[in-house]
Structure 1
Amino acid sequence: MVSRTSTQHSVVAQTAASKHELVSKNKATWRVYLTLTKPKVVALMLLTALVGMCLAVPSGLPLQQTVFGMIGIGMMAGSAAAFNHLIDKKIDGQMTRTSRRPLPSGELNSVRVFGFAAVIGLLGFATLVVWVNQLTAWLTFASLLGYAVIYTLYLKRATPQNIVIAGIAGAMPPLLGWTAVTNELHSNAWLLVMIIFIWTPPHFWALAIHRRDEYAKVNIPMLPVTHGIEYTKTSILLYTLLLSIVCVLPVLVGMSSWIYLSASLLLNSGFVYHAWVLKYRDEPHWAMKTFKFSIYHLMILFVALLADHYLL
């Protein structure tokens, strides 16, 4: 009797453990697919898209275009990121920073990643066409192609100016947000694009300095690999100085005022300082510190644009 009871308890325990393992596996799989979309990167892109929406209209945002615009742009950005995982599978497996991604680690295979990227991309495009407007849908599709195909498949392997040439694709979200609520292109939206376009090279080159040996190992011609670290540090400093000028343009055209200007001057001073230290002092791990600062720089800069728009 005791033996039978023990056996029953054992079976129940094993069944519960199996169910728990299945739930955990399903949960892990969901998270694995989420990592394909590079959610932190997409979140920053959506912030800039939202700012574009807010600056495009003087009063309240149109609910339908705002909600479905954010959903569609986010899904297509996630699709581009997933295609990037797929195209860079071999390279990712050889680099320490990316070797644990779903494809090189074996958590997902290429067929599933392609299917996932295609489905969310098509759904995002359809969402924009049906509930937003065709202009935004096609511009977002062009950005997807620019990042996932032109940059990842060709430019990344072809020229040390890869991130400069393809930077326009990653700089598009404010324009996409603007067109989502207005269905028109506007010069002010292109100013926001220009800010991100100039911000991108020093942001990415700082990371490239930190990972120079890994890029060299997989024959990716990033600027520190082809032109050396000192040349790249100089380029970062010059771009941060140029960025400081470009960031003043929204004030000069009357798009924003003193709240944004104050934040911009402070943030750009911090970016220039990081670039200066990176160039002229031998501080350990400063390239990575510069890279991390650049992320906060862009995020706070666009929040300041938002605050200036609604508070003044």
Structure 2
Amino acid sequence: MATTKLVNETTMDDDKHSLNAATTTSAWQDFLALIKIGIVNSNAMTTFTGVWLALYFTERSFFANFDIVLYAMIGSSLVIAGSCSYNNYFDRDIDPKMERTKNRPTVSGRFQPATALTLGLFFIAIGSVLLFLTTPMAGVIGLIGAFTYCVLYTMWSKRKTTFNTVVGSISGAVPPLIGWTAVEPQLTSVPIALFLIMFIWQPPHFLALAMRRKDEYARAGIPMLPVVHGFAVTKRQMIAWVACLLPLPFYLYPLGTVFLIIATALNIGWLVLALKGLRAKDDIKWATGMFVYSLNYLTILFVSMVIVTFIPF
């Protein structure tokens, strides 16, 4: 009997430990979902590229300016995380209507609306303070990005107009500007080119997603371009946006020939894929290919910007 009791108590302790561990893991996963960790991570990459190139072109030491790098990276990530948390707070009425958003913690109730709102505003505030510790310009640009995403996109254009993707692209394009201005407040052709690449990249990226999720967006009442004007118009606009990327790498000519070749090859490849959409028999399959290409495009392009700085010319 004593042995049985001991075994039972041990089993109960193990069950409690497993339950606590599972609860902790679940809470952490819900937190990461609330701040949209995927968006935070991808924007951290573009922010770092802005920081790195500013240090490179102004011939400043990375380690001597490590505090600035740290403030810029943490500050921008907090502003983005806070903006995403606010987006989840505001969109909790339409998120249940879409397959990809119906399990968000603000929909399931695992995060209360007030908590999501409080965390969002807190992260934006703390992140902005860190950015202002680098330069006032970086802090202002961070606030512009947060305002554009939270107010102009989330609260207004997302539910009102097919231009919502364009409006949202402004906030998505500011991370490399934040990174650059954290080091060098003066905006030259390099950071402007980074901003334009990010700005123009986003419409074809998100329109591809909108094509794949057309029915969900329609059910939620969100006027995405494929919902309002159909696939044919969407395809033509995606081709136009991708074509606008072609000249932009040449504004980054100081990065050298290797980068220009990589960037131009990526642009031509994406344009060819976009043009194939005019004759695509399976629009969803084509849109999926465009979406995947856009993700690889961004990663390869921005990583190559950093790598080529180590190549002697």
Match of 2:137 among 111, 135, 138: 135
**CA distance, structure 2, for counterparts of residue 249 and residue 63 of structure 1:** 27
Alignment check: 8 A CA contact 1:248 1:264 kept: no
Q: Which residue of 1 aligns with 2:68?
A: 65
Alignment check: 8 A CA contact 1:259 1:307 kept: no
**CA distance, structure 2, for counterparts of residue 275 and residue 166 of structure 1:** 22
Q: How many residues align?
A: 306
**CA distance, structure 2, for counterparts of residue 29 and residue 163 of structure 1:** 31
Deviation of 1:183 (Å): 3.2
Q: Which residue of 1 aligns with 2:160?
A: 158
Mark the runs of 5 or more structure 2 residues left unpaired by the alignment. none
**Structure 1 residues 80-133: Cα deviation after superposition (integer angstroms, max 9, x where no partner):** 111111111121111011112112223222122122222222221222234x22
**Structure 1 residues 285-305: Cα deviation after superposition (integer angstroms, max 9, x where no partner):** 220221121011011111122
**CA distance, structure 1, for counterparts of residue 121 and residue 2 of structure 2:** 53
Deviation of 1:74 (Å): 0.8
Deviation of 1:47 (Å): 1.1
Aligned ranges 1:228-247 → 2 under 5 Å: 228-247=230-249
**CA distance, structure 2, for counterparts of residue 120 and residue 103 of structure 1:** 17
**CA distance, structure 1, for counterparts of residue 4 and residue 135 of structure 2:** 65
**CA distance, structure 2, for counterparts of residue 203 and residue 78 of structure 1:** 21
**Structure 1 residues 39-67: Cα deviation after superposition (integer angstroms, max 9, x where no partner):** 22222211111111121123322111011
Q: Which residue of 2 aligns with 1:26?
A: 24
Q: Does 1:11 find its partner at 2:9?
A: yes
The letter for the 2-side match of 1:95 is M
The letter for the 1-side match of 2:36 is K
Aligned ranges 1:248-287 → 2 under 5 Å: 248-251=250-253, 255-283=254-282, 284-287=284-287
Which 10-residue stretch deviates more, 105-114 or 138-147?
105-114
The letter for the 1-side match of 2:221 is N
Q: Which residue of 2 aligns with 1:190?
A: 192
3-state DSSP class of the match of 1:144?
helix
**CA distance, structure 1, for counterparts of residue 280 and residue 11 of structure 2:** 61
Alignment check: 8 A CA contact 2:190 2:251 kept: no
Fraction of identical pairs, as percent: 29
Match of 1:116 among 116, 119, 126: 119
Alignment check: 8 A CA contact 1:259 1:304 kept: no
3-state DSSP class of the match of 1:285?
helix
**CA distance, structure 2, for counterparts of residue 55 and residue 99 of structure 1:** 39
**CA distance, structure 1, for counterparts of residue 209 and residue 50 of structure 2:** 27
Alignment check: 8 A CA contact 1:207 1:288 kept: yes
Which 10-residue stretch deviates more, 43-52 or 182-191?
182-191
Aligned ranges 1:201-220 → 2 under 5 Å: 201-220=203-222
Which 10-residue stretch deviates more, 147-156 or 12-21?
12-21
Once superposed, what is the RMSD of the aligned Cα atoms? 1.6
Deviation of 1:5 (Å): 3.1
Deviation of 1:26 (Å): 1.3
**What TM-score does the superposition give when structure 2 sets the normalisation length?**
0.93
